[in-house]
Amino acid sequence: MPFRLRPVPRVVAAACTLASSSLAAPSISTVSGAAQHGSSVTITGDGFGTKTTAEPLKWDDFEDGALGNDVSTTGYWENHGNGDIKFSDEHLRHPFSKRSVTDKMTYTWPSTTPNGNFYHLKAWPNAGRKYLTGYLYIEFPKLSTSGDWQAKLIHVLSGPEHADWPVLALQSWWTEGGDVGNNGNYFEFQYTGGAWPSSWNDWARAGEWLRFEVEWKDSTSASASDGMARFSAYHPGESVVSVTKSGTTMGSDGVTLSTPHFGYLLVNEGAGHQVDTTWDDIYMDDTWARVELCDGATWESRTDCEIQPPTAWTPSSITVTLNQGALSEGQTAYVYVVDAAGSANGSGYPITLSAGTAGTGGGAGAGGGSAGGAGGGSAGGAGSGGQANDGGAGVPAATPNGDDSGSCGCRVPSPAPTSPPFPWSAGVLALLGLTLRRRAAGREVPRRGDMKM
């Protein structure tokens, strides 16, 4: 009976690979595109998972707002009650920023009507996993009270009012002099009036930008306790700190945490006193899947991170609009992909941030800017470290690997060298096939010298 070599069943191997990759954390193989603020950057790899809509539910850097206008002019945010929330250029967080919004919170207690906040009704229309992050700057004047006073800074409710349970809240108690009060700061996760506070005396600080991050999962019903919420605080240059609570997140079936409020309420202070809060770079989504650009080489060692709004997403490729934020020009930053379960690649993919701002005209965010020496001016001319490129984007004069094409600011590792094919491989296979056929037919086996290579 003739003897034949059978190929390895490759379908089984592929199935094993798929099974293992579906359980693995994301991994990144390449990052391509100019590493400039506003540029389109593509990340390829494995295990990114699916994202039904690539773009987040909301990404707002407030750059389109007119200075002094009310935040409600966006058509998305609503200004609650007597709130005084305007587009501002105070306390700008990074050189690319020209706008934020400032909320002047005024004391009205014992009224429970929010006295200064902006919100969006039903920002998360469906139950499930939800994500919220942004930046907060608190400016505390010395107030007149002799005891502690409280700023209710961030609330997620089921509606626009204070009693619209359930509630996910970040509260902050302060003294007359602007120090943390005796009641501390705390993270509150409650429904139908039942509070589960978690003390955390250092999540909010006066006079510095804080990145807040809230990830939560709705419980499956009002009687189930399988919901959870995790709050994380990013203080500049410090390790990320988090607190997690679990329990029921519904006051009644179908009533979920859906409406975010920013700069919610000031209490326990003399009437008319004011505390200013400034907000920027708010990002909301209905999944935990996201892309981050951080200063730490590992996910566990990260301190300062900037969210990267995606424009395309598949299990093996993601495209984002690069958001440099407060990370520095010339800095090595690390790319992380977080999947829908909250798992990220353990080691970041390094890129070197280039000078300039991508775009098609003069001014920050559109072909020039105050950071990085990108091309500014009416024609979008190049600034220091850049060259003109139609719309005036400050394309780097040289990439980190010495390539002077100016086509990419990313530091992409060179591909691993491949071994050349063995020059006799075709002849050896032919000889092996002939040998097997002759043996099967009982003929003499030729020597290698009989074959022409």
Whether residue 368 is predicted with pLDDT greater than 50 in this model: the reply is: no
Per-residue pLDDT, 169? 74
pLDDT in tens, 215-249: 999 989 888 889 898 989 999 999 998 888 888 77
Per-residue pLDDT, 371? 36
Section 381-393 average pLDDT: 34
Closest listed residue to residue 96, CA positions, set 361, 440, 371, 317: 371
Question: Does residue 178 or residue 430 have the better pLDDT?
Answer: 178
Cβ count within 10 A of residue 72: 14
Per-residue pLDDT, 341? 96
Per-residue pLDDT, 319? 99
pLDDT classification of 372: cutoffs 50, 70, 90: very low
C-alpha dist (Å) from residue 216 to 176, 181, 186, 341: 34, 28, 17, 11
Q: Which of 69-73, 174-178, 383-387 has the highest mean pLDDT?
A: 69-73
Per-residue pLDDT, 151? 74
Mean pLDDT over each residue of the chain, to the nearest integer: 73
pLDDT classification of 311: cutoffs 50, 70, 90: very high
- Please give the model's pTM, rounded to 2 decimal places: 0.71
Section 312-319 average pLDDT: 99
pLDDT in tens, 162-191: 667 677 777 666 556 555 555 556 556 665
Paired tokens of 122: 């039903």
Whether residue 312 is predicted with pLDDT greater than 90 in this model: the reply is: yes
Per-residue pLDDT, 384? 34
Residue appearing with tokens 């006193």: 273
Per-residue pLDDT, 418? 42
Contact 135, 307 (CB under 8 A): no
Per-residue pLDDT, 318? 99
What is the distance between the terminal CA atoms of the chain, rounded to a whole angstrom? 29
Q: What is the CA radius of gyration of the chain?
A: 28
Per-residue pLDDT, 217? 93
Section 387-392 average pLDDT: 34
Residue limits of CATH 2.60.120.200 in the chain: 58-285
State the chain's maximal CA–CA distance in angstroms: 108
Whether residue 197 is predicted with pLDDT greater than 70 in this model: the reply is: no
pLDDT classification of 119: cutoffs 50, 70, 90: confident
Whether residue 115 is predicted with pLDDT greater than 70 in this model: the reply is: no
Section 284-307 average pLDDT: 98
Closest listed residue to residue 163, CA positions, set 37, 14, 22, 265: 265
- Rounded percentage of the chain residues whose pLDDT exceeds 90: 39
Q: Which of 51-55, 150-154, 397-401 has the highest mean pLDDT?
A: 51-55
Q: Which of 69-78, 261-270, 390-399 has the highest mean pLDDT?
A: 69-78
Residue limits of CATH 2.60.40.10 in the chain: 26-53+293-301+308-353
Question: Which of 8-12, 40-44, 406-410 is the least confident region?
Answer: 8-12
Per-residue pLDDT, 71? 93
Question: Does residue 223 or residue 285 have the better pLDDT?
Answer: 285
Paired tokens of 451: 């074959």
- Contacts of residue 54, defined as CB under 8 A and 6 or more positions apart, other chains included, come to 310, 311, 312, 313, 318, 319
Q: Please give the backbone phi and psi of residue 427, each rounded to the nearest 5 degrees, phi first.
A: -65, -40
Per-residue pLDDT, 438? 52
Question: Does residue 151 or residue 365 have the better pLDDT?
Answer: 151
Whether residue 331 is predicted with pLDDT greater than 90 in this model: the reply is: yes
Q: Which of 244-248, 309-313, 437-441 has the highest mean pLDDT?
A: 309-313
Strand ranges in 25-148 using DSSP code E only, listed in sequence order = 27-32, 40-46, 58-60, 78-80, 85-88, 100-106, 117-119, 129-139
Q: What is the DSSP letter of 194?
A: B
pLDDT classification of 424: cutoffs 50, 70, 90: very low
Task: For the domain made up of 26-53+293-301+308-353, give the CATH fold.
Answer: Immunoglobulin-like (2.60.40)
Per-residue pLDDT, 41? 98
Question: Which of 7-16, 118-127, 221-230, 353-362 is the least confident region?
Answer: 7-16
CA 360 from centroid of its chain's CA atoms: 25
Alpha carbons 440 and 249: distance in angstroms, whole number: 74
- Rounded percentage of the chain residues whose pLDDT exceeds 70: 58
Kindly compute the dihedral angle of the four CA atoms of residues 92, 181, 239, 356, in this order, to the nearest 10 degrees.
0
Alpha carbons 431 and 448: distance in angstroms, whole number: 8
Question: Does residue 425 or residue 68 have the better pLDDT?
Answer: 68
Alpha carbons 197 and 183: distance in angstroms, whole number: 11
Contact 39, 30 (CB under 8 A): no
Kindly compute the dihedral angle of the four CA atoms of residues 293, 61, 289, 355, in this order, to the nearest 10 degrees.
-20
Task: For the domain made up of 58-285, give the CATH fold.
Answer: Jelly Rolls (2.60.120)
Question: Which of 88-97, 120-129, 310-319, 374-383 is the least confident region?
Answer: 374-383
Whether residue 397 is predicted with pLDDT greater than 50 in this model: the reply is: no
Whether residue 20 is predicted with pLDDT greater than 60 in this model: the reply is: no
C-alpha dist (Å) from residue 400 to 114, 258, 323, 330, 352: 51, 45, 19, 9, 7
Question: Which of 205-219, 308-322, 331-345, 381-395 is the least confident region?
Answer: 381-395
